Structure 1
Amino acid sequence: MRIKLFLILLLTGWGYVLCAQEEKQEGIVFMENEPWSEVLRQAKEQNRLIFMDCYTVWCGPCKGLSKDVFPQKQVGDFFNAHFVNAKYDMEKGDGKMLREKYKEYIIGFPTLLLIDQNGKVIHQMAGFQKAEDLIAGMKAGLEGKTLPALQKKYEAGTRDFETVRDYVAALNGAFKKESIPVIASEFMKTIPLEKLMDKEVWGLVGAYITDPYTEAYQFVFKQIEKFQYRVGVNRYDLERQLGNGMADAVKEIIQITTKTTNADTLKIMADKEEVLREMLEQNTVKRFPTYLCKLAINDLRLTGKVDAMFRMMVFADELNILNYENDFRGGTYLYITEHVKDKKVLNGILKIMTADQEKANQTKSDLVRSNYYDVIAAVYTKLGQKDKAAEAKKNYEQLEEKKMVEMKKIFGVKDEK
């Protein structure tokens, strides 16, 4: 009886072990840090491409892939059926040699490469990838839709939807995203604006419509309700996208008109502002009133109406129109301080900035804390209170130093001794 029980337990235990092993093998089966010559040999023997995961032990996204993506059954089913799978720590063994050999393709970690049997890279991806994206990206490489091939085809002048779509997908997968906005812009010039309401077309180029001066941006702005309900675009995301583009355009006008007195340049900026105002005054996108207010205050500066600038700033503050615009508020109050003579206005600025600084000082992180001490110092100087001006200036410098220290900690920068 005891022998029978022992055999049952033994067989049951082996069953659990076999199940565990089978479950463990659901994901990608890798040759890990094995001699590169052996990987090439198996690729030739099996007549397969090599999928190579280039990782380091300190890389967070690399660990994410290994823990959450590579073990998935759908991933294992695809990669085990089509590739010889290898992974290398790029800081030891053959990994160091491969890192040097393929350095033009390894832009960061993780880098994911498709390599032919002769050791030539034919496709690449980079960064953490969701299972579906990883499979789709490497399937494209397997089907010949490789980044080099698509780039060659695109540069030869091919601009059909499928080519542009696949090229953009390959660039995204390889984390070579810097040229995508230009590619999207060029493609939009080849299609009627109404095609933007095609879900596939929107999915390809929609995220790159951010320039308020373009016909595409203005079309989307005017048709925003249709994009929300007919195309199914998330209204919040679309408003944020349009708002960010508008914010950059307004910032450009203010920065340029602050630095120049050239009549031709100012005329160009005035014409640009007119284009923006036509949209801003419709107030259909979140924070458009903020950007309109900033332009109005800038116009007062250009015409030398400093007292009116102060009144509008106070009005905007009362309505919270300029919330989250700390740099603009501080810079504008500093400008008014430097150009106004009215002590009533100066004391008003002092009261506002002091209250703002006291509120900012309650922020735990020095890095994100607003620093208005320079404005406070300027007001005290203008009022002839030198001691208080010196104290405020010291506070400004100390806070800036704290910001720098915290920034260095975040990026792991050590001071040289």
Structure 2
Amino acid sequence: MKKVYIIVSILFFSLMTFAQSGTQFMDNRPWQEVLQRAQRENKLIFVDCYTSWCGPCKQLSTQVFPQEKMGEYLNSRFVNAKYDVEKGEGLTVGKQYDKEIKVFPTMLILTAQGEIIHKVSGCRPVDELIAAIEEGLQGNTIYNLKKEYDKGNREWSFIQKYLNLLETAVERKEYEKVAREYASRFPVDSLLNQDIWNIVGKFVIQTPFSPEFRFVIEHIDDLDSKGLVNRYQLECKLSEEMGFAVNSIYLVSNKTHSEDTLVMLQEKIDYLRTLLKKPVKGFPTSLAELSLSESKIKQDVNQLYERLCVLVECGFTDRDILLANMLKYLAQNLNNKAHLKRCIDIAEYLKDISSKTSWVQEGFDEAIALANQKLGSKK
């Protein structure tokens, strides 16, 4: 028993020593107390803004801030405060700095008067966090660099520094804006330059109707051979974005019968078809779905029926909701008994092999019910 007591005492003492050697926080204390202490001690303020449900926040709290090196750095330079910004005094702090707190955790560096100097977002190792804070203390803050950017500085070394800080602060919209503006100064084939690709590659593959997206599709081999991309991951992303574009055409066609809109949709279909003929993973499925949407937009029921039958027979059955909706449309508009019966067979087959989620199953059930109702009225 005595040995157990000694072991427990040693563990308790070790934990207490570890906690005391780490970062010392004013934990959810009134904000005015923090400001007054900072002014009295002539220190800057370091604020950890967190929430109770944030995993990275807990990681910072339990693995990073308690470390001796982190404590030595922060305790000597700052009055440290932490706030759950969803309750108590944290609500006041969160509201005051709501434009800066966009993700969790966000760490703010403030003057003793509460003016923002710098911010760092996300959980990161001790050395990396200290380096990110030091950048701000040396004047390399997103606020200072934004002023310089707005004055027209477009030197590559400056742009790199600014983008790195925007990434550190998780300012995604501003990062994309600056990256796109910088890349737009060069011809589209500059995407084959590693520096340009590194800053804008992840954005240009999200916009299927842009010239950059088309360039990427037409130069996958070049991007791959230069080692700029993981070809498999790139093709998966291109296919995903194409799928969204094709689906958006279908959704818009459901909402309007305006001739101008339908003409615009047909132009988009013609454009996407040229891209979807490229040998990219997943493109054949999107091309098949595009052909269905085209028939529906043209209100060519027989063509839609024939295309859907062929595509199902060929195994293009990936998008359950789209197929269910196409079958419902056919059930409502077909007049041929044999075709209606075939739609029922297809719906039952797809229901059996599709996702078992309720709305998918209900979609096929509705198509079957509509077709049976139509057949019943024809007896």
Using the size of structure 2 for normalisation, the TM-score is 0.80
* 1:242 maps to 2:238: yes
CA contact (8 A) 2:18 2:66 kept: no
CA contact (8 A) 2:21 2:66 kept: yes
Distance in 1 between residues matched to 2:231 and 2:70, nearest whole Å = 34
* 1:102 maps to 2:94: no
Local SS of the residue matching 1:113: strand
Q: CA deviation at 1:346?
A: 0.8
Pairwise CA RMSD: 3.7
* AA at the equivalent of 2:235: E
CA contact (8 A) 1:357 1:370 kept: no
Q: CA deviation at 1:383?
A: 1.2
Q: CA deviation at 1:198?
A: 3.5
Task: Quickly say closer, same or farther: Cα 1:79–1:221, change in 2 above 3 A.
Answer: farther
Equivalent positions of 1:216-255 (< 5 A) are 216-255=212-251
* AA at the equivalent of 1:184: A
Q: Which consecutive residues of structure 2, in runs of 5 or more, have no partner in the other structure?
A: 1-5
CA contact (8 A) 2:295 2:303 kept: yes
Equivalent positions of 1:347-358 (< 5 A) are 347-358=341-352
* AA at the equivalent of 1:240: C
* 1:184 maps to 2:179: yes
* 1:269 maps to 2:261: no
User: Which residue matches 2:281?
Assistant: 286
Q: CA deviation at 1:192?
A: 3.3
CA contact (8 A) 1:326 1:370 kept: no
Q: CA deviation at 1:199?
A: 3.2
* AA at the equivalent of 2:368: I
User: Which residue matches 1:379?
Assistant: 371
Task: Quickly say closer, same or farther: Cα 1:164–1:246, change in 2 above 3 A.
Answer: farther
Distance in 2 between residues matched to 1:214 and 1:140, nearest whole Å = 36
* AA at the equivalent of 1:282: K
* AA at the equivalent of 1:338: Q
CA contact (8 A) 1:55 1:109 kept: yes
* AA at the equivalent of 2:207: D
Q: CA deviation at 1:145?
A: 3.1
Distance in 2 between residues matched to 1:247 and 1:108, nearest whole Å = 29
Q: CA deviation at 1:332?
A: 1.2
Local SS of the residue matching 2:186: coil
User: Which residue matches 2:339?
Assistant: 345
* AA at the equivalent of 1:374: E
Q: CA deviation at 1:46?
A: 5.9
Task: Quickly say closer, same or farther: Cα 1:16–1:111, change in 2 above 3 A.
Answer: closer
Equivalent positions of 1:130-141 (< 5 A) are 130-131=124-125, 134-135=129-130, 137-141=132-136
User: Which residue matches 1:398?
Assistant: none
Partner of residue 201 from structure 1, selected from 196, 206, 213: 196
Larger relative CO (CA 8 A, sep 6+): 1 or 2?
2
Q: Which consecutive residues of structure 1, in runs of 5 or more, have no partner in the other structure?
A: 1-9, 387-417
- Identity, % of aligned pairs? 32
Distance in 1 between residues matched to 2:177 and 2:362, nearest whole Å = 36
CA contact (8 A) 1:51 1:112 kept: yes
Q: CA deviation at 1:206?
A: 1.2
Using the size of structure 1 for normalisation, the TM-score is 0.74
Q: CA deviation at 1:259?
A: 4.7
Distance in 2 between residues matched to 1:38 and 1:152, nearest whole Å = 32
Distance in 2 between residues matched to 1:92 and 1:223, nearest whole Å = 52
Task: Quickly say closer, same or farther: Cα 1:254–1:230, change in 2 above 3 A.
Answer: same
